[in-house]
Amino acid sequence: MRRRLLLGNWKMFKGPTDSRALAKALAEKFGAGSKPDTVVVFPPALSLSTVHEALGSTIALGAQNVHWEKEGAFTGENSAVHAADAGATYVLVGHSERRTYFGETDETANRRVKAVLAAGLTPVLCVGETLAERDANTTEDVVKRQMLGGLGGLDAQAAARLVIAYEPVWAIGTGRVATPEQAQAVHTYIRQQLRLAYGTLADNLSIVYGGSVKADNAASLMSQNDIDGALVGGASLDANVFFAIGQAF
């Protein structure tokens, strides 16, 4: 189902103590006001259980990454099954920071997507080009490769639970947001790719934009036909600001 999604990626901010305070503030804010169809926050793994407890039912919980195995001798990793046990219902996969700093590839993203689905959770596959790739006019090629690689082997039934996040790397944490038209163009392209792979199901899948989304640019981004929500990093760490972004939907 195509839904309006507001996703907050806390990255490596907020340990359990600070996470609890932020989750409580968010639950209070979003509990009282109107909100997008679905609001999800992605705290660091160590804070998942605490945030789950503090959030109540208004806001859903997500993990920032998971390993593809259910369990095993993989020191330092977390599985999708364990994320589910901690209360998560969403998982980010293939975020550009994972790709840049931790060697994530399309192939490992694909294994993670499958593990997330197998655990009954919703994967949010992140795709997006670097500035050099945009300048070289290869945005569509890059996004296509990341989509085909990340989603390889998924049938339409599995794909029905997907969320795609388009996050141009040059817009993440830089304050340099894609224009609504730039973002819409890539979202349209992503939906075309989804249509080629899964037919009309593509019209029901949510494609969210990420990269320097703030309260003052959210409304113009959300006004675009193929932008179904936002994946917010820095601006999701303050309850008032994150709530204001939701109101701008």
Active site (catalytic) residues: 95, 167
The overall longest dimension of the chain from CA atoms, in Å, is 47
**Cα–Cα distance between 134 and 120 in angstroms, integer?**
35
**Cα–Cα distance between 230 and 222 in angstroms, integer?**
8
- Number of residues lying near ligand PGA (CB under 6 A): 13
Q: Which residue has the tokens 């973002």?
A: 183
**Residues paired with 231 in a beta bridge:** 7, 210
By beta-carbon distance, which residue lies closest to ligand PGA?
233
Strands 206-210 and 90-93: unpaired
Q: Residue from 234, 241, 244, 247 that binds ligand PGA (CB under 6 A)? A: 234
Provide, rounded to whole angstroms, the least separation between the CB of residue 228 and ligand PGA.
Answer: 15
In the 8-state DSSP scheme, what is residue 67? Answer: B
Provide, rounded to whole angstroms, the least separation between the CB of residue 171 and ligand PGA.
Answer: 6
Residues 82-141 that bind ligand PGA (CB under 6 A): none
Q: Does 9 bind ligand PGA (CB under 6 A)?
A: yes
Residues in the chain: 249
Provide, rounded to whole angstroms, the least separation between the CB of residue 232 and ligand PGA.
Answer: 5
Q: Residue from 233, 243, 245, 249 that binds ligand PGA (CB under 6 A)? A: 233
Q: Does 22 bind ligand PGA (CB under 6 A)?
A: no
Pick 78 or 217: Cβ nearer ligand PGA: 217
Pick 81 or 93: Cβ nearer ligand PGA: 93
Question: Which residue type sits at 76?
Answer: G
Residues 188-227 that bind ligand PGA (CB under 6 A): 210-213
Q: Residue from 115, 164, 232, 248 that binds ligand PGA (CB under 6 A)? A: 232
Residues 6+ apart with CB under 8 A from 219: 248, 249
Tokens of 16: 């359990």
Pick 192 or 220: Cβ nearer ligand PGA: 220
In the 8-state DSSP scheme, what is residue 79? Answer: B
Q: What is the DSSP string of 140-184?
A: HHHHHHHHHHHHTT--HHHHTT-EEEE--GGGTTTS-PPPHHHHH
Provide, rounded to whole angstroms, the least separation between the CB of residue 195 and ligand PGA.
Answer: 25
Residues 155-184 that bind ligand PGA (CB under 6 A): 167, 172-173
Nearest to 211 by CA among 163, 246, 176: 176
Pick 45 or 213: Cβ nearer ligand PGA: 213
Pick 43 or 210: Cβ nearer ligand PGA: 210
Residues near ligand PGA, by CB under 6 A: 9, 167, 172-173, 210-213, 231-235
